[in-house]
């Protein structure tokens, strides 16, 4: 009479769904090892991760605006102590530092583990801080020579800024295969133009030096 206890039972394939995952299991008797083979990759819900990522993006954007606002207060403090051309020239150094450092880090950090958000946002904060100085000075410089047409002068100033942003945005959109390099090249070009104008054309305007 065969031993009923050690008799090998039928092998029964079972498919069990657990948390959205399909698994295939083979169950055998007589102390045989249970083999579980996963037939579907584990699916992890990304809802929480997406929410956290969205919150981080919001705070990053707010921090950029905050750095610009801080720059406007620095602009007011500087204008009480120096002329507009000197103020703009000083701020252009921060613009150049931001553009150059962003580009250097973007090239040096390709496929590197240390390259992260700090390597982008640090230079951007410098650039936005300087923008907080350049924007008020540029706006006042565009409007002050035309007191009887201040609205028109302000509108034209805004038009030229938006026109430049349009072409820059189009260029960035065409080079998004490598977003970090596209951003770095755009900021580098902007910072170089700002530095060139700040140290040449702006310093030759006698009305702004008073």
What's residue 25's pLDDT?
A: 47
39 phi, psi to nearest 5 deg: -100, -15
Q: At 200, phi and psi to the nearest 5?
A: -125, -80
pLDDT at 59: 86
Estimate the crossing angle of helix 47-79 against helix 84-108, to 10 degrees.
150
Q: What is residue 24's predicted lDDT score, i.e. its pLDDT?
A: 47
Instruction: Identify whether 3 is part of a domain.
Output: no
Please give the tally of structural domains in the chain: 2
Q: DSSP 3-state assignment of 132?
A: helix
Same domain, 108 and 63: yes
Together in a domain, 32 and 132? no
What pLDDT score does 10 carry? 55
CA nearest neighbour of 84 among 138, 129, 127, 132? 138
Strands 35-38 and 21-27, sheet pairing: antiparallel
Which of 143, 129, 50 has its CA nearest to residue 96?
129
Domain range for 141:
47-209
Same domain, 31 and 72: no
How is 123-155 classified by DSSP, letter by letter?
HHHHHHHHHHHHHHHHHHHHHTT-GGGHHHHHH
**Both 23 and 58 in a single domain?**
no
DSSP 20: T
pTM of the model: 0.70
Looking at the structure, do residues 130 and 32 belong to the same domain, yes or no? no
**Residue 97: count of CB within 10 angstroms of its CB:** 16
| 40 and 52 inside one domain | no
Q: What does the pLDDT read at residue 12? A: 54
Q: Compute the distance between CA of residue 200 and CA of residue 140 in angstroms, rounded to an integer.
A: 18
pLDDT along the chain (210 residues), means of 10: 51 52 48 48 54 78 92 95 92 96 93 89 95 93 89 93 91 88 92 93 70
């Amino acid at each position: 009479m065969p031993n009923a206890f050690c008799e090998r039972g039928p092998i029964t394939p079972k498919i069990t769904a657990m948390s959205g995952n399909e698994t295939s299991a083979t169950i055998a008797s007589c102390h045989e090892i249970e083999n579980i083979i996963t037939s579907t990759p584990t699916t992890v819900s990304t809802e929480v991760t997406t929410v956290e990522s969205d919150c981080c993006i919001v705070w990053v954007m707010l921090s950029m605006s905050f750095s610009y606002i801080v720059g406007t207060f620095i602009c007011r403090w500087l204008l009480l102590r120096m002329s507009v051309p000197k103020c703009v020239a000083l701020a252009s150094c921060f613009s150049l530092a931001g553009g150059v450092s962003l580009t250097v880090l973007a090239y040096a950090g390709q496929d590197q583990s240390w390259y992260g958000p700090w390597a982008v946002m640090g230079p951007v904060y410098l650039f936005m801080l300087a923008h907080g100085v350049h924007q008020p000075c540029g706006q006042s410089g565009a409007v002050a020579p035309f007191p009887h047409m201040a609205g028109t002068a302000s509108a034209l100033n805004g038009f030229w800024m938006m026109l430049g942003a349009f072409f820059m945005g189009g260029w960035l959109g065409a080079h998004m295969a490598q977003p970090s390099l596209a951003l770095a090249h755009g900021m580098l070009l902007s910072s170089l133009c700002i530095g060139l104008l700040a140290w040449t054309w702006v310093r030759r305007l006698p009305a702004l030096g008073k």
